[in-house]
Chains A and B, each alone.
Chain A
Amino acid sequence: MMGGGGGGGYGQYDGWDDENLGAVYDRSILVRLIPYIGQFKLWATIAVIGMLAATFSSVAMPLFIGLTVDTAIATGNTTRLVWMAGLFFGLVVINAIGLWLQSRYMAKVAHAMLVNIRTQLFGHLQKQSLGFYDKQQVGRLMSRVVSDVEQIQQVMTGGVIGTISDVLTLVGIVVIMLVMDWSLAVVTLSVVPALIVISIFWQRRARVAFLRVRRAISVVNGSLQENVSGVRVVQSMNREDENMRRFDNINHDHLDANLRASRLTAGMFPAVEIMVGISMAIVIIYGGWQVLQGALTVGFLVAFTLWVQRFFDPIRNITMQYTELQRAMASGQRIFELLDTQPQVADKDDAQPIPPITGRVTFENVSFSYADDIPVLRNVSLDAEPGETIALVGETGAGKTTFVSLIARFYDVTRGRLTIDGLDVRDVQHESLAHQMGIVPQEPFLFSDTIEANIRFGKPDATRAEVEAAARGAGLHEIIMHMDNGYDTELQERGANLSVGHRQLVSFARAILADPRILILDEATANIDTRTEARIQDALRRLLPGRTSFVIAHRLSTIREASRIVVMDNGSIVEIGTHNQLLANDGIYARLNAISYGAEATNGHITAPSAALPAPAGGAEDSAEDK
């Protein structure tokens, strides 16, 4: 009925791969869906009873009309007329109640299933390790939890019980017609094969047509989206006319696909109507002939015609439901596939909560590779004392991010052992460890919630005073107080209404509030205005002491103030030491400094850096990697 609609609903943009329609019937999927219905046995039973009542009463109605015509009206028996009408009203009431029960309770079951599958999916997603998210697009996961589940719910609400009811109606009508007058029934139903052939033909063509429409609309939407997101490039390159020409082509393809689909959708109802017309004509001719012969009463002729009228609706409905069922099967398959994905990092069954830790982090010959077996960390060993600040330095791809990800147990080591306070991280409950660990990522992730809730993310049960204290610690308090709603200011998606620097500060405040024993910090490289930069430096100075901190360092000051600098190259630790030690070592770190020093000397522009900076004994400039 949606015409050649736009594919409709969510998932229009990322629906590329979700179009493969499989079988309408897949036993393994149905078997797995049954337990979800099983939880709502009572409701489902009520719905089925209601459906049976509604179906049978509606099939029986023409019979009563026929009987009334023959036995009461034709004979002039008023008492019998009242009686028959009374019975008919009884049927009407049963039908209405049945229908009400069916639609009310079936939908309840469907929605309850929906909420169960959805929450189960979400819980399952929460358990997945980050390795899983590295490979999955958020949009695709969203469409699992939103549209695939909805598809199943829709089919459950309307489709399944509707189809059963349709089939029962068909069977009921055929049986009752055959019983009443088998020859008339056979003659009347002779058009049914034709309708079935038409339906199958229609259904095949329609599926192809709708698939084309859906593909076409996703191309249209993709092109639109790209043009909006890339509008700055488009305008600066003067591409408007060319793009318009191309879009018109794409848009026209979509139009064609839709018109083609419309030719089909417009045909289904009229085809059925013509079939009904033919059947009626047959009933009137053959039935009429029998009436004239005295073999059939007028009442039954009327009843037959009424049945014929009803007969075709279920066939049409089933045809329409076919694709929906197919889609639901495909959705079910995708949902169960997701539910079957085992988390790579999971707590052992006998994992214990880790007691309050002091924060000693030890890497013992740790090697790590992602799924592709290319080693990212090779045989790394490091013993970080409680309270130390470790600065990680090295080029992009040297393995710094992976290094800190292992501490947070985002991934499990491939070889070796990683212990915290002497306990292997794989032997403790991850949650208990996570609560004693804080992470400040390079690009802070903020939720669309109040600024207070965002800070509180680090400690859900924190009081307002604690939140404020944390904000003060991060140098954020006065910034927040300048906002219109203070701590209740709603942040936009990803904190878009805050500057990069301020987002960073919120992230610091979160970590301060969580008061973790171990802190992991990926310094931002974004160009932050002078004032905020100063605040960040301040906050860092307050955040780092007293905890074991690992900092992927980009700032000179951080590197200099670190207890130790770990220089990484190609997955290995190549140098460890303080700034001065490393300079004295004359290794990679020192060489970087030498280059810088040499550059300044030969360049001549940059003179006497010591004038601006309290230069260390080496007198050379430090370097940080460029990420």
Chain B
Amino acid sequence: MNRPAQKSGVWYNVRIFLRLQTFLLPYWRRATLTYVLLFISSASALVIPWLFGRAVDRLVEQASLGIILTVAGWILVAAIIRGATSYGQSYFSQAVSQLVAYDLRNTMYDRFQRQSFSFFDTSRTAELMSRATADVESVRMLISFALVRIVQVAVMLLMVTVVLLQSNWQLALVTLAVLPFIAYRTTRTSRRLRPVWLAVQQEMAALSTVLQESLSGMRVVKAFGREKEETERFNKQAYTLYERNVTANDEQALNTALMTFSVYFAAGIQLLYGGYMVMQGELTPGDLTAFLFYLLTITVYIRMIGWLGNPLSPAVASGERIFEILDARPEVREKQDATDNAVVAGQIAFNNVSFGYGGRDDVLQDVTFVAEPGQVIAVVGATGSGKTTLVSLIPRFYDPTRGAVVIDRVDVRNMTLDHLRSSIGLVQQDVFLFSATIRDNIAYGVPEAPEEEIIAAASAARLDSFIRSLPDQYDTWVGERGINLSGGQRQRLAIARPLLLDPRILILDDSLSSVDAETERSIQQALDRVMEGRTTIVVAQRLASVLRADQILVLDEGRIVQRGTHAELIAYPGHYRQIYELQLRHQEEAFEAAPEGITAGGGSRP
């Protein structure tokens, strides 16, 4: 426990350690019971060798069988008490640790989903996952294992020492003389192994990276004929890992052998010196036997000393990472006196809004515009010009660094999040499907939505007939373990989702997906349906979207550089015309400039 601190000082580690203990508080009854049971089981374990020693003495004295029977009976009783209590202790310690892990997982889950977007912008999914899985597990191990075992080892060693010293201090000292050596070896080995294990882990991670990249990038590997080089790279890494593993193992093998040697060596000493003392009449044969058995009993615990410390430092590090999540305050928070008034009209105003990450305001600068109820506002600009950020400020995924976003004359920061977000429908660019049925995915925002509404939404999004063609219809599983939907189908599903919420405001992150003309057209029609009668802000990549807009905002490096309708903006050279040439015209016009055109000219197309 009092190992040298790794990074931030002993006290820092101790604080984290202590804070981890607070998770035990709700279960203090079970935790206390664990320790009580542990105490009883340790004590009863120590009674057995003593009883056996007495049996041996009685036998040497040629006592009656009755006495032997009594001793045997007591041994049985002790064994049963020992078994029962150690079962209880083991079960309760595991149960407590599982309960703590359960609490931690729930808390982490909730913290995750209430963090603001900026939190997820800067962290990777895998990293967050590992906190909620590996780190929680490591803390759980600490609680179930280390906490109980440390106490157990300490109690056992202490009790045995006392018992041995009391029965014969000379033999006790001779026997326990190996303990300092064992303690030394153990600390030394674990100190030497720690960096080796760390290296093993790192090499393993490196190997996984090589493996994963090579497999995911197979097309490139094959394309450049780099199979041989990749194989060499992998083999080199695999051998490095092998060498590290062997180093670690050699150290361990030596240690195992030395530990066993020490214990048996002590047994030999007992035999020699103890035997001599028995001959001198200073010790009874029973005591000698009891000594041997005590030694055997504590062997297990002596071995434990070695790896007891091991889960501690990683667990403290895990605790630290968990606390980072638990302590992270979402940047976007609801005010105490936030209003709950309904969004009725759906007017959106940006008043001199600036935004940037980490307090800077370089992503959006001084953006001002008003979207009147029912209007369509298109936002265009290059990648990185701030379009997505701009629309993210409306549902308060981020808060502006300066200025205000106002809906129906109320600053969004004065509204409850629940209420604000349920007034806004969002169709995102990368459609996220949950592993659930199509029905649940459509009704994601309104889990209790009636069947008719779900079907109505699917029909409006032009998805109903496709769904009905599936064997399981609306109960078809999608997502990771279900069927794959095409890009167009996913998009239409994303369009269906906000329909159930019937929001006043719609935000469309218009994506340019890989779909054929037919699909493109039905997406377009679906969009038309959704936009009807709502204030719509669209991050436009489709020509149709800009043509339909009441106002187009042209963003460049976070500023609105141009605004107006398509006809106004295309009339003279400028940013818009450039974007039009590069992004809109060549990709889309043939199929979408006018849906009527397609119907007329492309009626025969599949």
Contacts and interface: CB of A to CB of B under 8 A. Distances in A.
Interface in B262-309: 264-265, 267-268, 271-272, 275-276, 278-279, 285, 288-289, 292-293, 296
A477 interface: no
Interface in A69-84: 69, 72-74, 76, 78, 81-82, 84
A73 B278 CA distance: 7
A482 to B, nearest CB: 15
B98 A4 contact: yes
Chain B: interface residue count, which band?
35 or more
A3 interface: yes
Interface stretch (A270-278, A366-374, A418-426, A542-550): A270-278
A457 B260 CA distance: 52
A183 B601 CA distance: 101
Interface in A97-147: 97, 99-100, 103-104, 107-108, 111-112, 114-115, 118-119, 122-123, 125-127, 130, 133, 138, 141-142, 145-146
A3 B224 contact: no
Given A266-B91, A623-B589, A73 B211 contact: no
B55 A238 contact: no
A65 B383 CA distance: 82
Contact of A591 (B58, B395, B582, B601): B601
A230 B578 contact: no
Interface in A345-404: 395-397
Contact of B265 (A89, A130, A501): A89
Contacts of B120: 228, 231-232
A314 interface: no
Contacts of A115: 238-239, 241-242
B28 interface: no
Interface string A525-547: 11111100100000000000000
Contact of A238 (B128, B204, B445): B445
B369 interface: no
The prevalent SS among residues of A at the interface is helix
Interface in A417-474: 430-435, 437-439, 441, 444-445, 447-448, 457-458, 460
Given A530-B382, A606-B570, A267 B76 contact: no
A237 B105 CA distance: 22
A266 B94 contact: yes
Interface stretch (B152-160, B343-351, B405-413, B508-516): B508-516
A117 to B, nearest CB: 10
Interface in A6-63: 6, 8, 10, 12-13, 16, 61
B422 interface: yes
A309 B429 CA distance: 67
25 contacts: A3-B145, A4-B98, A73-B279, A74-B285, A85-B268, A96-B261, A119-B234, A122-B231, A133-B219, A220-B105, A221-B133, A231-B115, A233-B428, A235-B395, A236-B428, A244-B106, A270-B84, A277-B48, A277-B78, A306-B292, A395-B517, A434-B223, A434-B225, A493-B209, A527-B382
Nearest to A88: B268
B95 interface: yes
Given A130-B222, A145-B211, A530 B86 contact: no
Nearest to B273: A85
Contact of A594 (B59, B208, B570, B601): B601
Contacts of B105: 220, 224, 251
Contacts of B395: 235-236
B13 to A, nearest CB: 24
Most-contacted residue by chain A among B75, B579, B588 (CB, 10 A): B75
B234 A99 contact: no
B332 to A, nearest CB: 9
A533 B501 CA distance: 39
A555 B229 contact: no
**What are the 3 A-B residue pairs with the smallest beta carbon separation, nearest first?**
A277-B79, A434-B225, A623-B590
A305 B87 contact: no
A485 interface: no
A243 interface: yes
Interface stretch (B161-169, B243-251, B370-378): B243-251
Interface string B565-606: 011001000000111111101111111011011101110000
Contact of A231 (B88, B113, B520): B113
Contact of A61 (B84, B108, B140, B264): B264
A438 B242 contact: no
Given A408-B222, A530-B578, A626-B591, A460 B229 contact: yes
Interface string B35-60: 00000000000001000100110111
Contacts of A274: 79-80, 82-83
Nearest to B380: A527
B235 A122 contact: yes
B112 interface: yes
Contacts of A554: 586-587
B102 A252 contact: yes
A292 B64 CA distance: 8
Contacts of B601: 591, 594-595, 598
A258 B132 CA distance: 17
Given A146-B204, A236-B426, 7 more contacts: A100-B253, A229-B125, A238-B445, A242-B447, A255-B102, A273-B79, A284-B55
A399 to B, nearest CB: 13
B147 interface: no
B271 A527 contact: no
A162 to B, nearest CB: 12
A583 B114 CA distance: 57
Given A65-B292, A292-B65, A439-B224, A104 B80 contact: no
A457 B242 CA distance: 26
A505 B43 CA distance: 72
B589 A612 contact: no
Contact of A126 (B216, B227, B581): B227
A603 B594 CA distance: 7
A285 interface: yes
A119 B242 CA distance: 11
A613 interface: yes
Contacts of A238: 417-418, 421-422, 445
Nearest to A225: B129
Interface string A213-255: 0000000111011111111111111111011100110011011
Given A277-B75, A278-B79, A82 B272 contact: yes
A525 to B, nearest CB: 6
A529 B575 CA distance: 11
A202 interface: no
B59 A93 contact: no
Most-contacted residue by chain B among A457, A499, A510 (CB, 10 A): A457
A92 B259 CA distance: 11
A556 B586 CA distance: 6
A61 B88 CA distance: 34
B62 interface: yes
B101 to A, nearest CB: 8
Contact of A528 (B256, B383, B590): B383
A255 to B, nearest CB: 4
Contacts of B594: 599, 602-603
Given A103-B252, A439-B220, A599 B597 contact: yes
A270 B82 CA distance: 7
B533 interface: no
A243 B113 contact: yes
B432 A224 contact: no
A576 interface: no
B363 to A, nearest CB: 14
B111 to A, nearest CB: 11
Contact of A265 (B90, B272, B589): B90
Given A108-B246, A439-B224, A396 B99 contact: no
A595 B106 contact: no
Contacts of A501: 383
A626 B517 contact: yes
A530 B395 CA distance: 29
